[in-house]
Amino acid sequence: MLHTSGELSPDLANHRRFQDLRGVQWRIDLGILPSSSSSSSSVDDFRRVTANSRRSYAALRRRLLINPHISKDERNFRDLVIDNPLSQNPDSTWRRFFHKAELEKMVDQDLQRLYPEHGNYFQTTGCQGVLRRILLLWCIRHPNYGYRQGMHELLAPLLYVLQADLERLSEVRKLYQHYFTDNFDGLSFNDTDLSYKSDLEKGEDNIGIQKDEMNTSYLHDLDPKIQTIISFCDAYGAEGELGIVVSEKFMEHDAYSMFDALMNGDKGAVAMANFFSHSPSPHNGLPPVIEASSALYRLLSIIDLSLYTHLVELGVEPQYFALRWFRVLFGREFALHDLLVIWDEIFSLDNKKLRGNSENESEVTFRVLNSSRGAFISALAVSMILYLRSSLLATENATSCLQRLLNFPADVDLGKLIKKAKSLMDLAIDAINSISEPIHGGGLFEPGKPRAHGHGHSRSLSSDVTAAMSSRALVPESYWEEKWRNMNKEDDRKQAGLSKQVSLTKQVQNRINGWSEKVRMRLSKVTRSPLRRNLVDDLARLEEKNEKSVSGNGGGEENSSVYSDPVSPQGLSNNIINNNNDHENETDRSSVASNSSVNGDNPDLGLDLDSSPSPSITSVRYSSAEDVGSPLPVSDTPEEDLSFKEVKNENIIVKSVSNLRDRRPLAGKFQWLWMFSKTGPESSLDKSKPATSYVTEINQKNAVPSSSTADETTKPEAADHHNLKDLAQSMLENIEVIESVENLSRNTAEALNELRKISNILAEM
Amino acid sequence: MVLVLAIGDLHIPHRAPDLPAKFKSMLVPGKIQHIICTGNLCIKEVHDYLKSLCPSLHITRGEYDEDSRYPETKTITIGQFKLGLCHGHQVVPWGDLDSLAMLQRQLDVDILVSGHTHQFKAYKHEAGVVINPGSATGAYSSITYDVNPSFVLMDIDGLRVVVYVYELIDGEVKVDKIDFKKTSTATV
């Protein structure tokens, strides 16, 4: 028993006339039946159109399903030289026969593997026969496409909804049995026939007629939907049986016309057949699938630049996964019932070409998706990618990315996905219509923003990119410098009794420009508990290391001349920072054995972080930068991960920002962030505890070192989203505090905006 | 709908270098389900070539065949028909219908395919059908003048067999068709 369950979004439900008759609705959407919006479409129109399409299919079938053994008499007239079995002549019926046999072989191969989980419908011989015939006929009709794998998966749901319609119809029939006037005897006679009856019978007839009249009058009282269903299925309406809109006999015909309309795009822009052709389109020399995939990536780059660059750098070409997505219209990514909902949405959108004037055609870059429907398809694809964002960013090789993309998780909240896709649609339309421009890799982007705020923000995103780029560089150093100084003063005071040996010291390549980006990414990965644990640990370790080095525990060497890195041109104005770095440099890079009780995982955190090239090494070094990254993705090798990130951040970083001044503020930012998470563990991971002002923060920090050991041991097991949310909240509070300051400079305001965005991201997690 | 190719007397390389080009272009793998070959190929390379057209290959021994392991006669059942195969040099007088009919009764087959005369023949008599595909290369024969390259393709479909004869006359391929129907009682 098939069921058509699947929630339709509420706004969709309003204007769809046949919610529960998906077959009819899709036929309307695909253009086979007259659209319900046109006022003139009556039941008769529907029936007539249905009948016509069926007739054409029947004729087609008769013509094309040839049997070379048809009556000898006909064949004698044909020239045998042409028409013999071995003939290579294209006109020969035998040749067509062999061609059909070949196609049939290919189609059968695919059909056998179609939807095994719904095998009790799809694997029956009847259904398979229908599918086979439809596919064969379509392929013979369109020899330039031939049969490609995947066409059967486009056809199968169409047949399924028709069958579901039938079942719905039978339900309705059962409920409203006497309204279905299939029974000729029950048909009410009109007055002219009455006169034929003799007077004798008049008595009984009156009663019978009265009953019929009652029935017909009740018909109008019925729910209009039921009414429509009944009149659709009336065997005596317009065009008789051929016009019964939901009919079992003509399911094959209907499925064929739906499939044909879907593949041809019904004179619109999105023709599925395009995705199956390999020939490059004359417009831009690319096969349509490649074109569509690049449209997809273009849209992704607009919405989420970091994810886009991540994927591009890994070498994940869009067509590796998009081919399957497009060709089967996501049929392989979702279960059948979910797929029906998605196709509801896709089909409900108009397929007319956008910007229909011919002079504008040349400007359209991605013609193959140039309609609302196409825009929605690409938006849906992007929203699916975004759904996997965290795991995609976490992986560092292309294979696992592809694995993730190709095995879309089964338990997806469809409503959210669809809503998100709708919100991206405007952008998608822009992307499709835009003349291709180079996508600048520079600039730090706010990946989380569009997701959190949806439609309203997306328009302003592109302008935000450039703003983001500049703002980061212009955070006033004084602000952060002060914070840093304050913190370090506290550090100095809390020395003794540190049993923890933070022996992990790395020379920290300074990626400050990408720092907030990195932190964000790291935190985004903190959705997994082991990562979270490590993040907190690392930050804790950093804290200790700082303290230790500051206190001079490590080795005791005090020289500040051990720098191997080039000093920034501006010179080091912040001595404290320098000191810190000195000590960090000295301590050798041994494993984190001492912290392993807390850390749990790989003790060899002796990451060769120096190996990652840093063209812009500055004097400000943060060992924690690498700490944070080191035990990260548990599934992948941390080293590559990290160095990759370094490299990537390098690429992202605007190299022009290379002076200490700019780095320090971000360094301070990091400290500030780190502080938050640091204070987390001690207060049972309740990161809301951090005070709403920096002063109190610092005071708390005083308490931190003493309890740092406790921190390590009290493994933040329960680290979960709450922490981040609290962190985000606290960040927001702090931002508000800062903003309350009267005269904020522009730079400060911008910096605060960045911080706000960060907090939003965190809140989202 | 079984397509059976009947071919023979190629005499490659002794009397002919190869099949005519037009024939070769028609014989593509994948269309034919069986090949029955009367013999006198003569060398293994020809055997391999025929095998590449169709894996189901049946050959009987002709007097010039280099492979002595081929049988003298063979019987195959395809669909509703029983086919008999023999080269024909054993049946004396060569090409005589009555003698061939005797062999057919001996083998108890509906269709007897034999060669050696290098001339296409298709007889029907009350016991069945006798087909001679001729020589596919048009090789020289001591008993026939003006040998035209020819071969036969049989389309066996239920109780009906359609025989297509392909002949190369003056450089052009000519095709002819003969229909035979088997009465179901004849098999008894």
Closest CA to B166 of B13, B39, B32: B32
Instruction: Please indicate whether residue A701 or residue A253 has the higher confidence score (pLDDT).
Output: A253
- Rg over alpha carbons for chain A, rounded to the nearest Å, is 35
Residue A547 has pLDDT above 90, yes or no: no
What pLDDT score was predicted for residue B108?
92
Distance, in Å, from the CA atom of A322 to the CA atom of A316, rounded to the nearest integer, reads: 11
Burial A184-201, CB ≥16 within 10 A → b, else e: eeeeeeeeeeeeeeeeee
Structure tokens at A461: 């995103």
Partner residue opposite B177 with nearest CB, options A80, A86, A88:
A80
- Residue of A250, A221, A225, A257 whose CA lies nearest to A235: A250
What is the pLDDT at residue A743?
58
Q: Do B166 and A84 touch (CB under 8 A)?
A: yes
Q: What interface predicted TM-score (ipTM) does this complex get? A: 0.79
Please list every residue in chain B whose beta carbon sits closer than 8 Å to the beta carbon of residue A98. 30-31
CB A329 within 8 A of CB A349: no
- B57 and chain A in contact, CB less than 8 A: no
Q: What is the mean pLDDT of residues A662-671?
A: 48
Return the top range by mean pLDDT from A24-38, A399-413, A421-435, A553-567.
Answer: A399-413
Chain B residue with CA closest to A79: the answer is B175
The token pair that represents A144 in the structure block: 């330039």
Helix axes A746-764, A721-740, angle to 10 degrees: 160
B136: confidence class by pLDDT, cuts 50, 70, 90:
very high
Under an 8 A CB cutoff, do B175 and A85 touch? no
Instruction: Give the residue from B39, B112, B113, B106 showing the smallest Cα distance to B70.
Output: B39
Give the integer Cα–Cα distance in Å for B115 and A514. 87
Chain B residues whose beta carbon lies within 8 Å of the beta carbon of residue A86: 26-28, 31, 153, 164, 166
Q: Is the peptide bond before B29 cis (omega within 30 degrees of 0)?
A: no
Over residues A204-226, the mean pLDDT reads 54
Using CA atoms, how far apart are residues B53 and B46, in angstroms rounded to an integer? 11
Whether B176 and chain A come into contact, CB under 8 Å, resolves to yes
Residue B76's pLDDT band, with cuts at 50, 70 and 90, is very high
Report whether pLDDT(A312) > 90. no
CB contact under 8 A, A86 and B177: no
Asked if A319 and A290 touch (Cβ cutoff 8 Å), the reply is: yes
- Whether residue A606 is predicted with pLDDT greater than 90 in this model: the reply is no
Closest CA relative to residue A307, chosen from A408, A425, A386: A386
Instruction: Write down the pLDDT at residue A714.
Output: 40
Measured from the Cβ of residue A672, the count of other Cβ atoms closer than 10 Å reads: 19
Mean pLDDT comparison of A329-338, A536-545, A569-578, B179-188, highest-scoring range:
A329-338
% of chain A exceeding 90 in pLDDT: 0
Q: CA A597 to CA A615: how far, in whole Å?
A: 36
Q: Which of residues A555 and B143 earns the better pLDDT score?
A: B143
Closest residue in B to A83 (Cα–Cα): B175
> In this complex, do A88 and B1 lie within 8 Å of one another by their Cβ atoms?
no
Tokens representing A540 are 């804790």
Interface probe with B: pick from A86, A93, A104, most Cβ of B within 10 Å = A86
Least confident of A159-173, A249-263, A659-673: A659-673
Res. B87: pLDDT tops 90: yes
Q: Taking 80 as the threshold, does the pLDDT of residue A557 lie above it?
A: no
Q: Do B31 and A69 touch (CB under 8 A)?
A: no
Tens digit of pLDDT for each residue in A221-241? 667 777 777 777 776 666 777
Q: Name beta bridge partners: B154.
A: B4, B163
Q: Which stretch of A296-305, A434-443, B162-171 has the lowest confidence by average pLDDT?
A: A434-443
Judged against a pLDDT cut of 60, whether residue A503 lies above it is answered with: no
CA closest to A95 among chain B residues? B31
B154 within 8 A of B165, measured Cβ to Cβ: no
Q: What is the predicted pLDDT for the residue at A36?
A: 57
Average pLDDT, chain A: 62
Torsion of CA A99, A105, A107, A112, to 10 degrees: 170
| DSSP string for A620-689 | ---HHHHHHHTT--SSS-HHHHHHHHHHHHHHHS-TT--SHHHHHHHHHHHHHHHHHHHHHHHTTT-TT-
Nearest-angstrom CA–CA distance, A69 and B16: 37
Query: pLDDT at residue B73 above 50?
Result: yes
Whether residues B25 and A81 touch (CB distance < 8 A) is answered with no
pLDDT value at position A658?
A: 39
Residues 6+ apart with CB under 8 A from A356: none
Q: Which residue has the higher pLDDT, A577 or A417?
A: A417
Please report the pLDDT score of residue A529 as a whole number: 45
- Please say whether the beta carbons of A369 and A270 come within 8 A: yes
User: Does the distance separating the beta carbons of B25 and A69 come in below 8 Å?
Assistant: no
Is there a contact between A487 and A701 (Cβ–Cβ < 8 Å)?
Answer: yes
pLDDT at B156 over 50: yes
Residues B155, A85: C-beta atoms closer than 8 Å: yes
Least confident of A428-432, A632-636, B111-115, B150-154: A632-636
Q: How confident is the model at residue A722 (pLDDT cuts 50, 70, 90)?
A: low
Q: Which token pair is B14? A: 């002794």
Which residues of chain A lie closer than 8 angstroms to B176, CB-CB?
Answer: 80
Chain pair A-B, CB pairs under 8 angstroms: 34
- Check B176 against A81: CB less than 8 A apart: no
Q: Is B23 on the interface with A (CB under 8 A)?
A: no
